[in-house]
Structure 1
């Protein structure tokens, strides 16, 4: 018997950092994601295969079903993280993985390069939570941490607004399919940002959180109902300026693309992964000439 689960990747258009303190963020599930496939075999242990977008096995481990200790592995750090997740899932549901034969062969498969930052961790947590029958937000809190917006994206097939609310966040599906989407594209910055480090850095700052949340909430609401690209760019620029002042970090446009004529918006942790840029198709040449070859139009990235 085979079971399979699938979760969507994510991009956060508004609310990065502030979403940790309760701001409303506009989040976009992606057409890329990760599946988790379960097969039964009378082994008494768990055999875990991690498969990349090219169908190559990038990770393998064998775990004990008693305590999830690693028997053999190709990557100790990944095995330790999986043990942590499985252990926490078991705490939340003691009936999880109690049958020796059941669910012995596990295959996870991403449909995007692992370094893209679209949610290798969040899609894994979401899939394991479905498998284990536990609250994914609780499982996230005891493993990776974070706001949880990426978990919400994993299980929604339309753009959403997201607000933290303990382990029962406020998630609303929204219609975000701008008429100017042909002028929106995503550029990969050739490096993955560690979101946990970014969160810790944000937590160390001293500022008026209430004022920040009020400003970000207003921008999120205005972007939801925005109908023109000029207005959209103005709202994104305002969002970048507010976060730049709060984080005491220059915007990605000022740092890397100061001469680009249109708008560039960081998505999620600043300094890595993808950014959103506005422009025509011919404007992508600007980024390619600077060495940023991975560029996806809105229609190929967002569900």
Structure 2
């Protein structure tokens, strides 16, 4: 008898939703009664178009995360049982040096390299994030458009007999980049050994904050913990936010409160970690207003993400913004309008006009120079900064394929919109 299921639902707007469950009949009823995921409850009715059975729910969960990272065409091939097309559709459509990684990620279960199926292990997963609009001003109440990425981070928990916490972090190539061991004395957590003092101090801060929110966390129990990134750490897709959300789920605490006690920020990245579709995020009177939206531009094949290879510290960017911000009321009103217009935008020309205008507004309010003016002033398309300016990814909108242009400028990591966005 199966103990886990992976399913794909077709929603009323034609979009797909992939999930996993231990009770498929109950879960289908929940979806169609509006008690399922945010994505489905706004797109009723839904119908089951694919079902796969597993002996273990953790296997089903891992399969769910694999399928969620696939393109729409690959999901359709799976639904139609057209298995011969799957290897071809796993091929990444961009020409970046991460082509091989994307192909392998789609074709295999990346978690199988680290999970021993014979062990009792809990697994938590969070999506990465990109902020398309309202960078910086989202902190002061502007409405932001944010998108979860196909790349995320998983957290694997296994109990151990000793009353200690061992921590092992793997990068996207399954190579260890951090290791530490913590001991418990009374209610105090101590660092026993570590490969990186700065990271272990930050992790200790997170654990301490969790225990403040849940005093019973880690009491009289030992664990082996592994984290696995699906993207390079310098991509800026949310190494910290995905970790915070995973730990919060493990410890049964509020991820937003944990973020406030540790890294800070607006919280949009936590929303992306938890959602399966694009969303708007806004702070109104310090309260979060989160709405999932149907953002699926018809011109998405003209959109690209280019990595600038300059990891930006979000806290530094926020500090710069707070020191230079001005004319906020008018700025927020304008950014809100641009965000709404981008969501419903139907043409590439209009989209480019909107993001160009957005870039100039944020440049003015933060007293910074737009990235296109700094690095790509001879480029014919549009270039928009994402998140903290100065590093990580930029969004490129172009009528012509821009890959060779950016490669000629020394930027090799170039992803098509559909290769990045969940």
Indicate which of 190, 194, 205 corresponds to 1:69: 190
Alpha-carbon distance, 1:207 to partner? 1.2
With structure 1 as the length reference, what TM-score do the two structures score? 0.97
- Determine which structure has more spread, i.e. the larger CA radius of gyration: 2
* Partner residue of 1:295 out of 410, 414, 422: 414
CA deviations 1:6-48 (Å, max 9, x no partner) are 0000000001000000111000100000000000111211000
Match of 1:276 among 367, 387, 395: 395
> What is the deviation of 1:211?
1.2
Aligned equivalent of 1:237, options 356, 380, 383: 356
Give the number of aligned pairs. Answer: 301
Question: 1:166, CA displacement in angstroms?
Answer: 7.0
Gaps of 5+ in 2: 1-119
CA distance in 1, matches of 2:276, 2:325: 36
- Contact 2:170/2:177, CA 8 A, preserved across alignment: yes
SS of corresponding position for 1:65:
strand
CA shift at 1:281, angstroms?
A: 6.1
Deviations 1:234-270 (A, max 9, x none): 0000100101111111100000000000000100000
Structure of higher RCO (CA pairs closer than 8 Å, 6+ residues apart): 1
Whether the 8 Å CA contact 2:156–2:225 is kept in 1: the answer is yes
Give the match for residue 214 of structure 1.
333
SS of the counterpart of 1:164? strand
Normalised to the residue count of structure 2, the TM-score between the two structures is: 0.70
Alignment equivalent of 1:171, drawn from 279, 284, 290: 290
Task: Check the 8 A contact 2:325/2:366 in 1, yes or no.
Answer: no
Structure 1 partner of 2:133? 14
* SS of equivalent residue, structure 1 residue 169: strand
What is the aligned partner in structure 1 of residue 216 from structure 2? 95
Paired with 2:121 and 2:166, the residues of 1 have a C-alpha distance of: 14
Residues 73-84 of structure 1: pairs in structure 2 closer than 5 A? 73-84=194-205
Residue by residue, what CA displacement relative to the aligned partner does 1:184-239 show, whole Å, maximum 9, x if unpaired? 00000011000000101111124122111111101001111111110000000010
Partner of 1:162: 281
1:69 Cα deviation from its structure 2 partner: 1.5
1:68-103 CA-partner distances (Å, limit 9, x unpaired): 2110000000000000001001101111111324xx
User: 1:65 Cα shift?
Assistant: 3.0
Secondary structure of the structure 1 residue equivalent to 2:192? strand
Partner Cα distance (2:401, 2:290) in 1: 36
Check conservation: 1:138, 1:167, Cα contact below 8 A: no
Q: Which runs of 4+ in 1 moved over 6 A?
A: none
Q: Is the 8 A contact 1:65 1:100 kept in 2?
A: no
- Kindly tell me: are residues 167 and 99 of structure 1, through their superposed partners in 2, closer, same or farther at Cα, counting changes over 3 Å? farther
Give the corresponding residue for 1:44: 163
- Answer whether contact 2:302 2:401 (CA < 8 A) is retained: no
Decide whether the 8 Å contact of 2:132 with 2:145 is kept in 1: yes
Does structure 1 conserve the Cα–Cα contact (< 8 Å) formed by 2:189 and 2:204? Answer: yes
Query: For the aligned residues, what is the CA RMSD?
Result: 1.2
C-alpha separation in 2, matches of 1:123 and 1:27:
15
- Whole-Å Cα distance in 2 between the matches of residues 22 and 218 of structure 1? 13
Displacement, 1:123?
A: 0.3
Deviating more after overlay: 149-158 vs 199-208:
199-208
